[in-house]
Amino acid sequence: MPSSGLLQRIWRARTIYLFISPFFILFAIFQFFPLVWSFYMSFHEWNGLGPMEPIGLQNYRFLLRDEVFHTALGNTVIYWLANGLLILPLALLLANFLAMPHLAGRRLMRSVMFLPYVTATVAVGLIFNMIFDFNSGLVNSLLNAVGLPSVPWLTSVEISKLPVIFLNVWRLTPWYTLILLSGLQGMNPELHEAATVDGAGPVQRFFSITIPVLMPILFFCFITLTIDSFRIFTEPYILTQGGPGNSSLSIVQYLYLNGFRIFKLGLASAIGYALTFILLIVSAAQIVLLLRQSGLTEVN
């Protein structure tokens, strides 16, 4: 029988399966089971101690009319757009700079540039908190030195998201610079040489050769950056705690507040799955756009 033959093959390879079993055991305990359990919890009301009360889709209906959730979603979208408009262009420019063949101290500059990404986000957040402090922060000290008034960076509803964006850009840009730099190093140098012979300048080569060749990598970076932006938590939590007035609150922060501050675990699970659904839609749209772009390139 096929089933018995399969069992025999598994038994003969039992040593191999024994060595790879720790991964599957840990995956089942710490990823698969929480995934299924949180989905089950999203249809219940539970504080983590008492009995679970089934409430159907009530948690999801609540999110549709919850103003705080809408505010957190809007803030997260702003973080995402700001990251896309600032991080990827800056990373592309830095990657081109570091890829220059005659750049002195190139290896040292690459190592130093990558330090923000490997530094603990909490530690950097505390430093940025001091930098943007209203009374004694470095930014306001520089503004006062040129005759400008102090700005309440961390306590203003209008601009509280700016320090969060600055910190996120400072932390993530080195990682995407490294990805784009690897793409530049894998580019065929004959493309630029042929364009130079034809009389193309540096700017023309950048827009006509570099960006089209790097387009698949740029789309990958954009999808990855989308996921990073929608799960942002540490930056606003350390700098502003989501305030003032939820003006810098992110979705993951709102999930944390419901799950671990007021212990609405069912609602927190629903927020997590709502975020997953949003990311699936956005990522699918980006992948479709990439496939269409690839199709147009092949046709042309």
Q: Is residue 28 part of a domain?
A: no
Total domain count, the chain: 1
Q: Please tell me the predicted confidence (pLDDT) of residue 169.
A: 93
Q: Are 168 and 83 in contact (CB under 8 A)?
A: yes
pLDDT tens for the 300 residues of the chain, in order: 445 677 888 888 888 888 888 998 999 999 899 999 999 999 999 988 888 899 989 999 999 999 999 999 999 999 999 999 999 999 999 888 888 777 777 778 777 888 888 888 888 889 999 999 988 889 999 999 998 899 999 988 989 999 999 999 999 999 999 999 888 888 777 777 777 777 777 778 778 788 888 888 888 898 899 988 998 999 999 999 888 889 999 999 999 999 989 899 999 999 999 999 999 998 888 888 777 766 544 434
Residue 277: per-residue pLDDT? 92
What pLDDT does 295 receive?
Answer: 59
Domain interval for residue 255: 41-299
The rounded distance, in Å, linking the Cα atoms of 149 and 155 is: 15
What pLDDT shows up at residue 296? Answer: 46
Residue 74 belongs to a domain = yes
| Unique residue bearing structure tokens 């950097």 | 124
Contact status, residue 235 vs residue 125, Cβ threshold 8 Å: yes
Domain of 269, CATH number, reads 1.10.3720.10
And the tokens for 157? 């509803």
pLDDT score recorded for residue 298: 45
Does 6 map to a domain? no
Residue 24 lies in a domain: no
Burial class (CB in 10 A: 0-12, 13-18, 19+), 66: middle
127 assigned to some structural domain: yes
Does residue 25 fall inside a structural domain? no
Q: Which of 79, 44, 74 is nearest to 264 (CA)?
A: 44
**Is the previous residue joined to 244 through a cis bond, with omega within 30 degrees of 0?**
yes
Query: Is 15 domain-assigned?
Result: no
Could you tell me if residue 149 is inside a domain?
yes
